[in-house]
């Protein structure tokens, strides 16, 4: 029987929302909340909750600033987050490669 290994797949990146957030932050430096929300077609709550989870794992960092009088939240992937996501991608590719 042909074997399949899922042990290297990172549960923190399982949901497509988190895959999306990390993918955006792999190719863009700081991305603000409204751009991220629009790009991934998410609700405020959905984006916020997944962003908090990724921040708690230190995969992304959060910056809060004022643009005029409006508060703006932006996200950036940490070096640790980029490495972890890269490993996750490699695990997916290894899995897919057997399909």
Which lies closer to a second copy via its Cβ, residue 11 or residue 64? 11
Q: Map residue 74 onto helix, strand or coil.
A: strand
CA distance 42 to 84: 23
Does position 3 interact with a second copy (CB under 8 A)? The reply is yes
Taking the complex as a whole, the smallest distance from the CB of residue 18 to a second copy amounts, in Å, to 9
Q: Long-range contacts made by residues 49-53, C-beta under 8 angstroms, separation at least 24?
A: 50/15, 50/17, 50/18, 50/21, 51/21, 51/75, 53/12, 53/18
Does position 64 interact with a second copy (CB under 8 A)? The reply is no
Does position 79 interact with a second copy (CB under 8 A)? The reply is no
Does position 4 interact with a second copy (CB under 8 A)? The reply is yes
Beta-bridge partners for 73: 64
Interface with a second copy (CB under 8 A): 1-4, 6-7, 9, 11, 14-17, 19-20, 22-24, 26-28, 31, 35, 39-41, 85-86, 89, 92-93, 95-96, 98-99
């Amino acid at each position: 029987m042909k074997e399949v290994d899922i042990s290297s797949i990172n549960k923190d990146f399982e949901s497509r929302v988190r895959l999306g957030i990390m993918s955006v932050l792999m190719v863009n430096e700081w991305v603000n909340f409204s751009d991220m929300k629009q790009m991934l077609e998410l609700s405020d709550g959905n984006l916020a909750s997944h962003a908090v989870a990724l921040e708690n794992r230190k995969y992304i960092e959060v910056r809060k600033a004022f643009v005029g009088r409006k508060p703006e939240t932006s996200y950036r992937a940490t070096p640790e987050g980029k490495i972890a996501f890269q490993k996750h991608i490699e695990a997916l590719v290894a899995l897919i490669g057997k399909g």
